[in-house]
């Protein structure tokens, strides 16, 4: 698994979301690397990481465990937040802090859970991905950002990064989407027993901010911050504030 290591200081792992790579943290990591040693991961089939077999969540977590230090803080965004929580649940003694950005314990609506996306939306998205992965990625990027001038610039940057320069493999997209489909941590969340910072955007159309509020109610040592006018990528849309929140939370 490819991992970029930069900076000096407290070790922090950054895990990106579906369809992206560690490059999504490029600007944000510049703020962090002066005081932290960053381990920026490319998930399998994305960025510079090759596919793994089997492409299952437990194997993915084991692969991450092989390349990061024994005692770390983990920042996970979207799917990366789910992976971060799963990682802690498997290796609880190796994680000091969790930061879950725009994440959820369960991505799809199920019985007793209405803070995900509808199964019909998900299945249509999956079908479109199989037919035309680049077109589907572009639509996915547009879901994450508000339709204004600033948002259009961010979308263009995402397209340049993850479609033109370093596109994910089709199989990587499919396999990681399957992880999103299968993960349901609603019964496990209560077992997270370390300081956890939950960050979300009220305008997020991919992971409902109400899922973040629910997580806050279940994780004993958690704090929450919700951006009112922000979508799915608060660490890009509100970079400075996100950095300040995380710096204060993780500490020196």
Residues with catalytic roles: 78, 204, 232
Structural tokens at position 80? 């990366």
Structural tokens at position 46? 């994305």
Block residue for tokens 């190796």: 94
Burial (0-12, 13-18, 19+ Cβ within 10 Å), 96: middle
Closest-CA residue to 60 (of 1, 10, 148): 1
Burial (0-12, 13-18, 19+ Cβ within 10 Å), 40: buried
Sequence-distant (6+) residues with CB within 8 A of 132 are none
Cβ contact 198:102 at 8 Å: no
Q: What are the φ/ψ torsions at residue 49 (nearest 5 degrees)?
A: -90, 135
């Amino acid at each position: 698994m490819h991992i970029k290591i930069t900076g000096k200081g407290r070790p922090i792992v950054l895990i990106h979301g579906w369809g992206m790579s560690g490059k999504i943290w490029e600007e944000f990591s510049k703020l962090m690397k002066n005081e932290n040693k960053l381990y920026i991961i490319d998930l399998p089939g994305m960025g510079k990481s090759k596919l793994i077999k089997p492409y299952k969540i437990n194997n993915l977590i084991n692969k991450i465990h092989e390349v990061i230090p024994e005692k770390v803080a983990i920042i996970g965004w979207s799917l990366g937040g789910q992976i971060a929580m799963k990682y802690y649940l498997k290796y609880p003694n190796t994680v000091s802090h969790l930061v879950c950005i725009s994440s959820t314990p369960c991505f799809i609506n199920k019985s007793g859970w209405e803070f995900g996306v509808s199964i019909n939306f998900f299945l249509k998205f999956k079908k479109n991905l199989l037919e035309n992965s680049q077109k589907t990625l572009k639509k996915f990027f547009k879901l994450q950002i508000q339709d204004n001038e600033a948002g259009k610039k961010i979308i263009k940057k995402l397209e340049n990064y993850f479609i033109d320069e370093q596109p994910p493999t089709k199989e990587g997209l499919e396999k990681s989407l399957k992880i999103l489909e299968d993960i349901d941590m609603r019964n496990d969340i209560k077992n997270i027993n370390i300081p956890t910072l939950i960050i979300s955007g009220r305008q997020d159309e991919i992971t409902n901010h109400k899922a973040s509020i629910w997580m806050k109610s279940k994780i004993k040592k958690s704090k929450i911050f919700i951006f009112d006018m922000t979508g799915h990528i608060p660490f890009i849309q509100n970079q400075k504030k996100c950095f300040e929140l995380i710096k204060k939370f993780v500490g020196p």
